[in-house]
Amino acid sequence: MRKANILSDNRVAQELIDKFNQKKAVIGVIGLGYVGLPLAVEKAKSGYKVLGFDIQQKRVDMVNSGINYIGDVVDAELKELVFSGKLEATTDYDRISEVDAVAICVPTPLDKHQQPDISYVEASTREIAKRLHRGMLVVLESTTYPGTTEEVVKPILESTGLVCGRDFFLAFSPERVDPGNKQYNTKNTPKVVGGVTKYCTEVAATMYRNVLEGEVFTVSSPRVAEMEKLLENIFRHVNIALANEMAILCNKMGIDVWEVIEAAKTKPYGFMAFYPGPGLGGHCIPIDPFYLTWKAREYDYHTRLIELAGEINNYMPEYVVERAMKLLNKQKKAMSGSKILLLGVAYKNDIDDIRESPALKVLSLLEEEAALVSYHDPYVPEFTWKGRHYTSVELTEEVVSSADLVIITTGHTVIDYDWVVKHARLVFDTRNATKGVVDTANKVYKL
């Protein structure tokens, strides 16, 4: 930790740093979803009193009852923190006045024009501004376009008459949540922090150093931290598009793209493996690149590579359905009226998160072609999509054998793919989930 005397000329900053170091600070978290609840739990585990804010009464009631609804949170830890009084949830935003620091962890979706919707960030900031007090830290964690912290959040907070960097402190520190990751979580993932001023940066970094095990890496401004987050996700976005395009070409050439990738992985430098699939899913990669393409127009620049990658990735659900149609045709079956079983609707394996899941897009496209679609997902027993409610079917021999085509859209590791292949008539594997199946009996086709 840096020496405290570098802030000797800002008594307000030093007092807040002392509160963090002595674990006397009360910390608030706005938004108790996939990012906010794990963050609130880690802050409470570190010894701070934590107040979680959410507009959904159901979430608040569950937290206050010690009931967990996020996979990356340990049930027993949540109960212990709640019942010991370290963590409390509320819908009463007036209680923001009780906190010394608050993190904004709300959604930043795209609107129907594929433009950033930061209305949740703005609304949360206005709620904070109503209760903003001297000696308070505000950190935006929601992924957004470069400039949001200084151009949107800061003016709202300074409309109170308090000055950023002198009376209160403001920083951007992007969330890095990978649902289902067994190695890295909120606690041990390195954290990037960029404050509006040097005082803002140091105050925010001190809080995170007292909470997290991972390195806290400081940058020169919120804009750098905002852009860094986008680069992380655009890097994956572009490389996944390359893998998807390779999959399409390899299929046309009669080459197994999965074998190609495994061979390329043997190179110990200059190559990082990315894998094709039925499309992009999750709360970041399908959305974040559009923040930058939108912002780039302000600088009269067209992000050609990013947008082309988006076109390729967005096409994949359609490609999957086209391939499925051809596979059925080979069996002298029409798509219309065919029984199709989707294995998995979560956006990645071994989690229950269906946000932006490509499996849902595949499902819709199949239904548009009048296919009779059912699904099985051990992590998603039911869901509602485009006004229709779906329920997972039991994975029985009758269900599998009666399907004209089984499409593996999520590679959940708890599913016995040897058993599935044995009983299925035809399998289209978009995730390479059947790679360990020895006897495919010429009825397994890969992406």
Q: Which residues are catalytic?
A: 284
Q: In what order do the strands lie in the sheet with 26-30?
A: 87-90, 49-53, 26-30, 101-104, 136-140, 168-172, 191-195, 216-219
Neighbours of 143 (CB within 10 A): 24
Distance from C-alpha of 179 to C-alpha of 354, rounded to nearest angstrom: 11
Q: What is the 3-state secondary structure (H, E, C) of 253-298?
A: HCCCHHHHHHHHCCCCCCCCCCCCCCCCCCCCCCCHHHHHHHHHHH
Pairwise CA distance, residues 303 & 258, whole Å: 29
Residue closest to 6 by CA, chosen among 201, 171, 191, 175: 201
Helix axes 75-83, 57-64, angle to 10 degrees: 80
Cβ-count burial 32-65 (b if 16+ within 10 Å, e if not)? bbbbbbbbbbbbbbbebbbbbbbbeeebbebbee
Nearest-angstrom CA–CA distance, 119 and 27: 23
Alpha carbon separation from 309 to 85, 243, 296, 362, 397 (Å, rounded): 48, 10, 16, 19, 39
Q: Is the dihedral of CA 311, 313, 316, 317 positive or negative?
A: negative
Cα distance between residue 87 and residue 138, in whole Å: 19
Closest CA to 36 of 106, 98, 83: 106
30 close to 219: Cβ distance less than 8 angstroms: no
3-state secondary structure of 88: strand
User: What are the backbone angles phi and psi of residue 9, rounded to the nearest 5°?
Assistant: -90, 5
Running DSSP on this structure, what letter comes out for residue 150?
Answer: I
* The two three-digit tokens of residue 397, written as one number: 């021999």
The residue written with tokens 């190179």 in the block is 267
Q: How far is CA 299 from the centre of its chain?
A: 28
